[in-house]
Amino acid sequence: MANLELLVSELPKLIQSLKLTIGDSHEIMQQIILINNAQEELRNIQKLIIQELKFGNINNSVIATLPRTNKVASLFIPHIGLIDPALAAKFGNWETKLSLIDLEKKIDAWIEWGYFLQALAADILSDVQLVSQLNSDSHHVSLPSKFKAIAENLKSKLVFTNSTNLEYQLQKFSNYQKELLQLQQKLNYIFNTIKTSHSLLTILLGVSAFCGKSGFTLEWLDDDHELIISSDSKIQELTDILNDCDVFQEQIATLIIQSDFLKQQAEEALKKIEQQSTKKLIISEQLENPLKIPTPKILITAFFLVSSLLFLGFCGRQMQNQNPQLESRSLSPEQRAIANFNSAQKLGMEAASLAQKPPHSLQVWQQAETKWYQSIKLLNSIPPQTSVFEQAKKKLTRYQTNYDAINKIVLAEKKAIANLESAQKLAIEATFFLQNSPHSARTRKQAKDKWKQAINLLEAIPENSSVSAQAKETLPIYKTNYAAIRSR
C-alpha cells in the first residue's frame, strides 16, 4: 500500500507530460518517447491497484490523489502549481479523494489519451506537406501579435510638417491597409479550415496558421470531446479560437476604415501643400521678372488696379482654404437644424431601402440598424425653437419604431447564425470521434447526443433568417446520420 501511495503521488507529473507540442519533427519524436514512458509508469500503477483490489482487504479504502485548496477554484497539483479550469478533467474529479476502482478507470483514460497522441504524431510525421507547412508557420508571428502591432501603429497621428513627411505617412497607411487585407484573408482561411474540416490534421493546419511561431500544444479532450490547446501561456478550446477569429474580423474591418480615413487626410493635406507651393512659385517669378516694356501712365494705373483686385481675390481664396469649417461654424441654429433634419431623412431612406425584400445577411441588417440610429441621433439634436422641430418630433417616433424592429431582427439573426455554427461544430465533433473510436459504445452514445443537439439547433432557426435555407439543406443529412447511429 505504501508503494502504491508513493507512485500515486507522482501522478500529476505523469499526467502533465501527456501532451503533444506541434512543431519540429525531431521534437515530436522525442515527445513520443516521453509519452510512452509515462504510459509505462501508469501501467505499473494500474497493476499495483489491481493487486490491492485482489486482496480484498481495502475495497472500501480511498487514496488522496489530487488535493484541492479551499481558496481557489482551480485544481492544485503538488510541485506543479495551479491548473487552468479547462484542464481540470484531465487531472481528476473535483473530490479530494478517489476510490481505487475510480482511479483505475481514470488511468485507462490517460493511457488511451497517450495512444491517441502517439497515433496523431505518427500521422503528422508521415505527411511531408503537413510538416513543411507547420515549419513555414513557425517562421511567422502569431495572428493576434500581428494584429496588435498594426493596431498600435495606426494609433499614431498625422504630422503636417512638409510634403516629404506626408508622402512617407501616406505610404505607411497604404502598407497597413495591405497588411490588414492580407490578415483578413488569413483569418478567413483559418476560420473555414477549422470549422468545416472533418480531418484533425487539416484542423491542426488552421490552428498552426493562427498561432504562428508561438506554437501550440494539444493538452486534452474534455468530457464533451472539445480539443483543448495551449499557446503562448494561454489555454483555450478549439471553439475559442473560432470566436477569436470572429472578433478579429470585426476589429480588422474597423481598422481598415480608420486607415482609409487617415490616408484620405494625408492626401488632402499633401494636395493643399502642393497647391500653396505652386502659387508661391508663380508670385515669386512675377516679382523677380517685372515687365520692362514702356507703358503709358494710364495703362500702369489700370495694371496696378487689376493686380490689386487679383491679389485681394487670391487672399480671399487663401483664407477660405485655410478655414474650411468657417462656413459650418457660421450656420445659425435654424440652418443647422434644417441641415440635420435633411441628413436624418436621407439616412432614414437609406435604411428603409436596405431593409426591403428580406431575408438579408446580418451585415445588411446591421447597416440598416446603424443608419436608423444615426438618423435618430440627428433628430434628437434639433432644438425646440426651430421651424423643423415638430416635423422632427413626428419622424422621431416612426424612426424609433423602425430602429427597435431592426434591432430585434439583428438579435434574431445573430442567434440563428450562432445556432447554425454550433450545429456544424457538434456535427464535426460527432463525425471526428466516431472515426477515431468506432467500436466504443460510450463514444457512439456521445455522438448520437451531439447529432440530436445539432438537429434541435437547426430546427430552432426561423424561416425568415438568412441562414434558413442552409439549415434546411443540412437538416436531412444530420437526421440521416442520427438515425443511422441510433439504429446501431
Which has more pLDDT, 164 or 68? Answer: 164
Query: Does 274 map to a domain?
Result: no
Q: What are 443-453's pLDDT values in tens digits?
A: 888 888 888 99
For residue 145, which of 228, 225, 62, 231 has the smallest C-alpha distance? 231
Grid cell digits, residue 38: 509515462
Query: Does 383 map to a domain?
Result: yes
Residue 415 pLDDT > 90, yes or no?
yes
Residues 407 and 454 in one domain: yes
Residues 73 and 25 in one domain: yes
Residue 139 pLDDT > 80, yes or no?
yes
Number of domains composing the chain: 4
Q: What is the pLDDT of residue 107?
A: 86
Provide the β-strand partners of residue 235: 230
Q: At which of 305, 330, 355 does a domain end?
A: 330
Grid cell digits, residue 454: 445539432
Residue 417 pLDDT > 90, yes or no?
yes
Q: What are 423-478's pLDDT values in tens digits?
A: 998 888 888 777 777 777 888 888 888 889 999 999 999 988 888 988 998 899 88
Q: What are 393-414's pLDDT values in tens digits?
A: 888 888 999 999 999 999 999 9
Which has more pLDDT, 138 or 59? Answer: 138
Provide the β-strand partners of residue 21: 217
Residues 368 and 479 in one domain: yes
Provide the β-strand partners of residue 329: none
Tell me phi and psi for residue 237, to 5 degrees: -85, 165
Query: Does 282 map to a domain?
Result: no
Query: Does 432 map to a domain?
Result: yes
**Distance between the two ends of the chain, CA-based, in angstroms?**
43
Once rounded to an integer, what is the mean pLDDT over residues 141-155? Answer: 86
Residues 225 and 299 in one domain: no
Grid cell digits, residue 35: 509519452
Instruction: Return the exposure string of 356-392: e unless at least 16 CB atoms fall within 10 Å of the residue's CB, then b.
Output: eeebbebeebbbbbebbbbbbebbeebeeebebeeeb
Q: At which of 239, 263, 287 does a domain end?
A: 263
Residues 165 and 251 in one domain: yes
Q: What is the pLDDT of residue 224?
A: 59
Residues 306 and 390 in one domain: no
Residues 301 and 341 in one domain: no
Residues 166 and 121 in one domain: no
Domain, as residue range, for 314: 295-330
| Cβ atoms < 10 Å from Cβ of 138 | 16
Residues 117 and 68 in one domain: yes
Q: What is the pLDDT of residue 85?
A: 64
488/486 Cα distance (integer angstroms):
5
In Å, what is the CA distance from 174 to each residue of 169, 177, 478? 9, 5, 46
Residue 113 pLDDT > 80, yes or no?
yes
Q: What is the pLDDT of residue 211?
A: 93
440/246 Cα distance (integer angstroms):
35
Q: What is the pLDDT of residue 103?
A: 82
Q: At which of 68, 91, 126 does a domain end?
A: 126
Residues 358 and 402 in one domain: yes
Q: What is the 3-state secondary structure (H, E, C) of the chain?
A: CHHHHHHHCCHHHHHHCCCEEECCHHHHHHHHHHHHHHHHHHHHHHHHHHHHHHHCCCCCCEEECCCECCCCCCEEECCCEECCHHHHHHHCCCCCEEEHHHHHHHHHHHHHHHHHHHHHHHHHHHCHHHHHHHHHHCCCCCHHHHHHHHHHHCCCCCCCCCHHHHHHHHHHHHHHHHHHHHHHHHHHHHHHHHHHCCCHHHHHHHHHHHHHHHCEEEEEECCCCCEEEEECCEEEEHHHHHHHHHHHHHHHHHHHHHHHHHHHHHHHHHHHHHHHHHHHHHHHHHHHCCCCCCCCHHHHHHHHHHHHHHHHHHHHHHHHHHCCCHHHHCCCHHHHHHHHHHHHHHHHHHHHHHHCCCCCCHHHHHHHHHHHHHHHHHHHCCCCCCCCHHHHHHHHHHHHHHHHHHHHHHHHHHHHHHHHHHHHHHHHHHHHHHHHCCCCHHHHHHHHHHHHHHHHHHHCCCCCCCCHHHHHHHHHHHHHHHHHHHHC
Q: What is the pLDDT of residue 263?
A: 72
Residues 9 and 120 in one domain: yes
Q: What are 312-334's pLDDT values in tens digits?
A: 444 444 444 444 444 445 678 88
Once rounded to an integer, what is the mean pLDDT over residues 339-355? Answer: 84
Residues 426 and 378 in one domain: yes
Query: Does 474 map to a domain?
Result: yes
Query: Does 285 map to a domain?
Result: no
Query: Does 410 map to a domain?
Result: yes
Grid cell digits, residue 3: 508503494
Query: Does 272 map to a domain?
Result: no
Residue 381 pLDDT > 60, yes or no?
yes
Which contacts (CB < 8 Å, 24+ apart) does range 169-174 have? Answer: 169/262, 169/266, 170/263, 170/266, 170/267, 170/270, 173/259, 173/262, 173/263, 173/266, 174/263
